[in-house]
Structure 1
Amino acid sequence: MSDLRRRSNKIEEKTNSTSCPKGVEGDERNILVLLFLYILQGIPLGLAAAIPLILTNRHVSYKQQAEFSLAYWPFSVKLLWAPIVDSCFIKSFGRRKSWLVPVQYLIGLTMYLLSLNVNYYLGQRGDGEEDIEPNITMLTAMFFFLNFLAATQDIAVDGWALTMLQKHNVGYASTCNSVGQTAGYFMGYVLFMALESYGLVTLPGFLKFWSIVFLVSTTLVAILKGEKEVEGVQGEEYKGDQGEQELGVVDTYKLLFDILKLSLMPATILMLLTSKIGFAATDAVTGLKLVEKGVPKDNLAMLAIPMMPLQIVLPWIISKYTSGPRPMDVFLKAIPLRLCMGAVMAGLVWITPSFKQESGDFPLSYYCLVVLLYSLHQVSGASCFCSGVYFFSKYLFPSEVLGFLFAKWGKVKKKLEKLEETLMNKV
């Protein structure tokens, strides 16, 4: 027991010693690589977000829209196969590249195949033939698989960030995640909708372009970017501040199951499963309802452009507050604002018809109001996201704690409760 306490004190000392900012010197290229990988990850998410707006103009019911929302599920349940990604790899190629490279190749190939058939799935026959009803089931299946691959890429990149960056810069991983995904989402959603509205690009052409980008960039990463050689666990000792632990798939799931049995986990899981209920409708339906009220979908997509600088700058600003000893304080302060924004956005939908002019257009003042409200919504959302990611990456399962658990696997079950108490005191 004293051994666990001594190691826990060392963990606290190391954490405190790295709490002071030391700058990103030596990690500039690594941060750029992470940012680029997260941008690629956001492209499928942005394209998936554009599909509901396209379907709205084809008079698809909300029931069918809800069916398509299943395409986002892989990001919610990626924990189920994360231990496989973490445990199975080709050591000579790299722990993370063993998954990152083939998965990104698959994303590129899937996007290329989708570009050949997406118009048919959307019910657009072309060649003067009458359009048919969109095939929602096939669209959902294709984008579900695409997001499954993107979620697997996310697992690999998140893990790679922990060893790619120096220890005192690990907090920037959540910033790269937020900024990169936002930029990728912007390009896959806003940029596509803008170009498509002016007839400059089609969905098949856009998909084909990004499929090529994925294939080329993945080849470059595979050849030019190597992984750090770090020591894992040997015998009874855990070596290296940034060492990665080597466990089999079965042992990894056993460890995950034991962690889930900690008394703090039910409350944590309940919080994660219910924290978004209050604003789920706001996030998913507001845009569709505005289109239903007459707001042109291309204008609505273009409104994201003035918010783009905010979406990029916000994570960097928020990271200054989440990098402290209590990152979830930001989450707790942002939740009430985000809940209130649900009522505000409902009010926006309600008053939208009163702004509509006889010509069917909306005045500039209305769009300024929408940008203002969406900006407040973005502030609350980014605050919750960044604080949550930083908390889980730094405090809940820090690498030193996991390394100690792996090294002392035979004694883990007897000491989990004591470890939980140590973590709770730290948080």
Structure 2
Amino acid sequence: MAKRTRTGDLSHLNVEALEEGISRRACHVKPPVPQPQPSLRGEWLNVLLLVTLYAMQGVPLGLTMGSMPFLLQAKASYTAIGIFSLASYPYSLKLLWSPIVDSIYSLAFGRRKSWVVPIQLASAALMLVSADWAESRLKEADIVSITVLFFVLVLLAATQDIAVDGWALTLLSRQNIGYASTCQTVGMNIGYFTSFTVFLALNDVDFCNTYLRSTPSEDGHLTLSTYLRVWGWVYAVVTLLVAAFKKEVNFTPAEELESFHLKLNGEDRGVGIMDSYKQLWGVVRLPAVRRLALVLLAFRLAVLPAEQAAPLKLLEKGVSKEALAGLVLIEFPCELVSAVVAGRWAASSSPFKPFLFGYQARVIMAGVVTTIVYYFPSGASSLSDHPRWFALLAVAGLVTSFTSTLMFTALGSFYTRISDPDMGGSYLTLLNTIANMGTTLPKLALFSLMDLLTTRKCVGADPTLEKHACPNTQIEGRGANPCTQAGGECAVARDGYYMLSYAMVTLGFLIFLWLRVLLPQLDAMPLERWRAKQRRH
């Protein structure tokens, strides 16, 4: 008779012997031996796979958070761009379904491949099928359709990220596990940089005519439809190779013991999923976590208008995408160096000292960037047109990047200290999710406020006719309206961007005074204040 593994059959086993055998493999104590030094010899293919998977995640994120707002700026209002920001929400809310990804899979195919392969094939199919349609919707500035498409793409990327993060823990050997975060940083930056800076440059007509063509043309080298189609085929080929040739390591001994206990108690994976959600809800209800969540949701309000809308205002003033893309190319290597320096500083100090320093400097830079944008000369087609102003923008961008990295690393250090190890990575994912929501949730409201606070007046209309009102948004002001029909032009009388940005910077200094009191209190709390009671099997 063939062997069968069923819940009912476990009663015939020597339970103590099975537990002892598994525990010995998982927890056997050996005399201390020198720990092997990290060495990637023999693991370069695994490193390359991780970098590739993370780079593929960065592609839709670079389009959604980087390129698309630039492409929409000439066709849509700030309110419409704020609506498009909804497409990035899945990446900030992936905690909601991460327990499902961790708990449902096929061991025969692979715990992480069970999600990575179908998710990437779905992404490939969506890119290939929707490529031409997305291009037409972009030309028509169909915000709702474009938002839905990229929402689905980011949803797939966020789900893949959950699976790849878990796979990274077993894909590399124990002595090289520290390289997993490096693979993530390198891969995500490659994908984001390709979809933002490289795509924008190759999509821009002026850049292509100036640097890549001998004969000018009316189109860029790379359209959105072509870019989506190319990456659709890359997704498909890479995914099929992974499915066919990459074997996955499944349960560790500790996970095998946990799985055995679940079967012994007559519990299935559905109960495990519910336990995970109950644990997360218990953490959310902790007063300490709620106070920290308030900090994470509020502190970015001061800098969001300046950091998110400044490039769009420069485009509105006639600065070319070519010039802005070139500026990013110059800043990119400097940002990598500053990230290393900021990371070392944050790791060598108590978490909230560098955080407070970085926050104060970042708020100041938000005011500086807003002022630079206000006085920036109009119509800069290249970096050589106004080199001093572009140099000021570059310095402001580098300082902002440095302080942002400093704050991010400091928060990560604090997260690591307070997180409950019994919850694995779920606790860290929860805190990172709340922090991401501090960026994504206010965007729509802030961009809408820019339009509401902006007023335009009619200039040059026939004075013999009655007074003609102008709409607030730039796009409507350019189109058919009573002012333009009377031969006039809608000119900005009051720009809501500057009002809102300076108001948020002022609010930022008030938030700084609040953080200077609250953060030391959070830092001094004992660990038990950060831990929720958990169910033990």
TM above 0.5, yes or no, is yes
Per-residue CA deviations over 1:95-115 (Å, capped at 9, x if unaligned) read 222112211111111211221
Which residue pairs with 2:431 in the alignment? none
1:180 to 1:367, Cα distance in 2 relative to 1, 3 A: same
1:141 to 1:360, Cα distance in 2 relative to 1, 3 A: same
Alignment check: 8 A CA contact 1:171 1:323 kept: no
Alignment check: 8 A CA contact 2:119 2:156 kept: yes
Q: Distance in 1 between matches of 2:173 and 2:350?
A: 21
Q: Distance in 1 between matches of 2:345 and 2:111?
A: 32
Which residue pairs with 1:9 in the alignment? none
Q: Distance in 1 between matches of 2:315 and 2:341?
A: 32
Alpha-carbon shift at residue 387 of structure 1 (Å) = 4.3
Q: Distance in 1 between matches of 2:121 and 2:96?
A: 22
Q: Distance in 2 between matches of 1:317 and 1:357?
A: 33
Q: Distance in 2 between matches of 1:359 and 1:170?
A: 44
1:149 paired with 2:149, answer no
Q: TM-score, normalised by structure 1?
A: 0.77
Which residue pairs with 2:395 in the alignment? 372
1:218 to 1:334, Cα distance in 2 relative to 1, 3 A: farther
Match for 1:420 among 494, 509, 528? 528
The range that moved more, 166-175 or 30-39, is 166-175
Alpha-carbon shift at residue 225 of structure 1 (Å) = 3.1
Q: Distance in 2 between matches of 1:22 and 1:320?
A: 21
Alpha-carbon shift at residue 172 of structure 1 (Å) = 4.0
Alpha-carbon shift at residue 119 of structure 1 (Å) = 2.2
Q: Distance in 1 between matches of 2:130 and 2:335?
A: 29
SS in 1 for 2:185: helix
Alpha-carbon shift at residue 162 of structure 1 (Å) = 3.0
Gaps spanning 5+ residues in structure 1: where?
A: 1-16, 124-132, 239-245, 406-416
1:156 to 1:331, Cα distance in 2 relative to 1, 3 A: farther
Q: Partner amino acid for 1:147?
A: V
Per-residue CA deviations over 1:280-316 (Å, capped at 9, x if unaligned) read 2123201101111221122212211112223444445
Alpha-carbon RMSD: 3.5
Matches within 5 A, 1:191-202: 191-197=198-204, 198=208, 199-202=220-223
Q: Distance in 2 between matches of 1:72 and 1:172?
A: 27
1:156 to 1:275, Cα distance in 2 relative to 1, 3 A: farther
The sequence identity of aligned pairs, in percent, is 35
1:136 to 1:301, Cα distance in 2 relative to 1, 3 A: same
SS in 1 for 2:376: helix
Matches within 5 A, 1:320-331: 320-321=344-345, 330-331=354-355
Q: Distance in 2 between matches of 1:333 and 1:212?
A: 45
Match for 1:338 among 339, 362, 365? 362
Q: Partner amino acid for 2:365?
A: M
Per-residue CA deviations over 1:313-365 (Å, capped at 9, x if unaligned) read 44455554566695665444422222222111101111103x76799983222
Alpha-carbon shift at residue 157 of structure 1 (Å) = 1.8
Which residue pairs with 2:124 in the alignment? 108
Which residue pairs with 2:137 in the alignment? 121
Q: Distance in 2 between matches of 1:28 and 1:330?
A: 35
Alpha-carbon shift at residue 192 of structure 1 (Å) = 0.8
1:349 paired with 2:373, answer yes
Q: Partner amino acid for 2:401?
A: Q
1:357 to 1:367, Cα distance in 2 relative to 1, 3 A: closer
SS in 2 for 1:303: helix
1:262 paired with 2:286, answer yes
Match for 1:220 among 216, 219, 241? 241
1:301 to 1:314, Cα distance in 2 relative to 1, 3 A: same
Match for 2:93 among 65, 68, 77? 77
Q: Distance in 1 between matches of 2:406 and 2:381?
A: 40
The range that moved more, 356-365 or 249-258, is 356-365
1:160 paired with 2:167, answer yes
1:154 to 1:211, Cα distance in 2 relative to 1, 3 A: same
SS in 2 for 1:276: helix
The range that moved more, 63-72 or 381-390, is 381-390
1:210 to 1:390, Cα distance in 2 relative to 1, 3 A: farther
Alpha-carbon shift at residue 274 of structure 1 (Å) = 1.9
Per-residue CA deviations over 1:238-297 (Å, capped at 9, x if unaligned) read 9xxxxxxx7632222122222223332212322222232222212320110111122112
Alignment check: 8 A CA contact 1:289 1:349 kept: yes
Q: TM-score, normalised by structure 2?
A: 0.62
Alpha-carbon shift at residue 166 of structure 1 (Å) = 4.7
Q: Distance in 2 between matches of 1:64 and 1:305?
A: 28
Alpha-carbon shift at residue 136 of structure 1 (Å) = 0.6
Alignment check: 8 A CA contact 1:88 1:248 kept: no
1:187 to 1:328, Cα distance in 2 relative to 1, 3 A: farther
1:234 to 1:215, Cα distance in 2 relative to 1, 3 A: same
The range that moved more, 303-312 or 67-76, is 303-312
The range that moved more, 277-286 or 254-263, is 254-263
Q: Distance in 2 between matches of 1:180 and 1:389?
A: 20
Alpha-carbon shift at residue 391 of structure 1 (Å) = 5.2
Gaps spanning 5+ residues in structure 2: where?
A: 1-31, 209-219, 262-268, 427-524, 533-537
Which residue pairs with 1:138 in the alignment? 145
Q: Distance in 2 between matches of 1:116 and 1:388?
A: 42
Q: Distance in 1 between matches of 2:382 and 2:236?
A: 46
Alpha-carbon shift at residue 90 of structure 1 (Å) = 1.3
Alignment check: 8 A CA contact 2:94 2:158 kept: yes
SS in 2 for 1:234: helix
Alignment check: 8 A CA contact 2:365 2:400 kept: yes
Q: Partner amino acid for 2:186?
A: V
Alignment check: 8 A CA contact 2:105 2:115 kept: yes
1:401 paired with 2:428, answer no
Q: Distance in 2 between matches of 1:82 and 1:236?
A: 19
Alpha-carbon shift at residue 367 of structure 1 (Å) = 2.1
Which residue pairs with 1:306 in the alignment? 330
The range that moved more, 35-44 or 161-170, is 161-170
Which residue pairs with 1:95 in the alignment? 111
Alignment check: 8 A CA contact 2:51 2:184 kept: yes
Match for 1:65 among 75, 81, 98? 81
Per-residue CA deviations over 1:56-97 (Å, capped at 9, x if unaligned) read 222x11111111111111111111111111111112222222
1:359 to 1:310, Cα distance in 2 relative to 1, 3 A: closer
